Amino acid sequence: MFAVFGVAILVLLGVLVGTAAGIIVVRVGRRVRGKRRAALAAGPRRALLAFVAENGEEGSEDLIAIPDDAWRAALPAALGLLGKLRGDAHSALVSVFLHRGAARAALADLHARSAVRRARAAQLLGDLELREAVPQICELLTDRDHEVRVVAVRALGRIGDAKAAWRMIASLDLRDPVPSLLATQALVQMGRGAEVTLSAALDHPQARVRAVCLDALGLLGATGAVSRMARVLADDDILDVRVAAATNLGRLGARGALQPLIDSLDPPHPDALRAAAARALGDLGAPAAVPPLAAHLDDGEFQIAHEAAHSLRRLGPPGIAALKERDNDHCREALALLQPDLVGAQ
């Protein structure tokens, strides 16, 4: 019995010693590989720093000539720079990546079985701002992996090709869509060329899609879409979409937005919409909004009176004068936020 117990103890000790030795070997191996990678990357990193210091005007040939193993070691640093640089320096570094075949490899990896490889490929192509890759990156908007879809949206935003706008809008109708704010930002990055597509998408049956397109139009300053947004404000079936329309009409600062917002101040419109319209009139900055806002300083709904008072404050002297003519808590609160010399000047 004791002999069997002793053998078991020896076997257990052997396993522990073997495991410890294995851990040590792995750690030593990692340390050795890390030192080797650091040594390989040292030269390329210096070349990258010199390249950035010269704003990409010199040093491209040196980066292209770096041996493949050394380039792989320095690749994380190069990718970090690629995502941060702009202008001529970015264009020069893009040329280096293209010469080294990075775009060709990334395009192939867009179809890899690994979600990590697909995401990394999309990010690289986005950082390269490679418009030729847009159709293939658009295919990732319906990828089975959520994180891959997120990276694809960011990449398309970085590239900024308005031809991708409709595919991105359509992807918002998926069961597990990307965050609305991320999609809005990417659509805005596509610029004024996406306005027509965004305006057309205000007829989309999905409320979330309509709200995202309204936000993108507002952030783009798409004054040509005022009448279309005003129709959404008046007629959409979803309250949140109508509130988004009011908010973004205020952002546009266009004269055509004034009357639709004034029309939304009164019942029977929902209180949430009336409050959004009052806030948007302050953002609009039109002095003609002062009388209708002043008429709601004593509104029975707290939020509406509150928004009306603070919008009048933002409208400058005419609005401040209207606040001083009325004595209630909302007016006093709004006036208290003004600089003393500005109040005294009225």
- Report pLDDT for 341: 47
What residue spans of 128-206 are helical by DSSP H? Answer: 134-139, 146-159, 165-171, 180-189, 195-200
> CA quadruple 333, 334, 339, 341: dihedral positive or negative?
negative
**Whole-prediction pTM:** 0.81
Strand, coil or helix: 310: helix
Residue 327 main-chain phi, psi, to 5 deg: -115, 95
- Report pLDDT for 309: 96
Give the domains, in start order, of the chain with CATH numbers: 221-346 (1.25.10.10)
Going through the chain in order, the beta strands assigned E by DSSP cover: none
Show pLDDT as tens, one digit a residue, over the chain (346 residues).
556 666 667 666 666 665 655 666 556 555 645 555 555 555 566 777 677 776 666 767 777 777 777 777 777 877 887 888 888 888 888 888 888 888 899 999 999 999 999 999 999 999 999 999 999 999 999 999 999 999 999 999 999 999 999 999 999 988 888 999 999 999 999 999 999 999 999 999 999 999 999 999 999 999 999 999 999 999 999 999 999 999 999 999 899 999 999 999 999 999 999 999 999 999 999 999 999 999 999 999 999 999 999 999 999 999 999 999 988 999 999 999 986 544 444 5
What residue spans of 54-133 are helical by DSSP H? Answer: 60-64, 68-84, 87-99, 102-109, 115-127
- Report pLDDT for 251: 94
- Report pLDDT for 10: 65
Please count the other Cβ atoms lying within 10 Å of the Cβ belonging to residue 181: 10
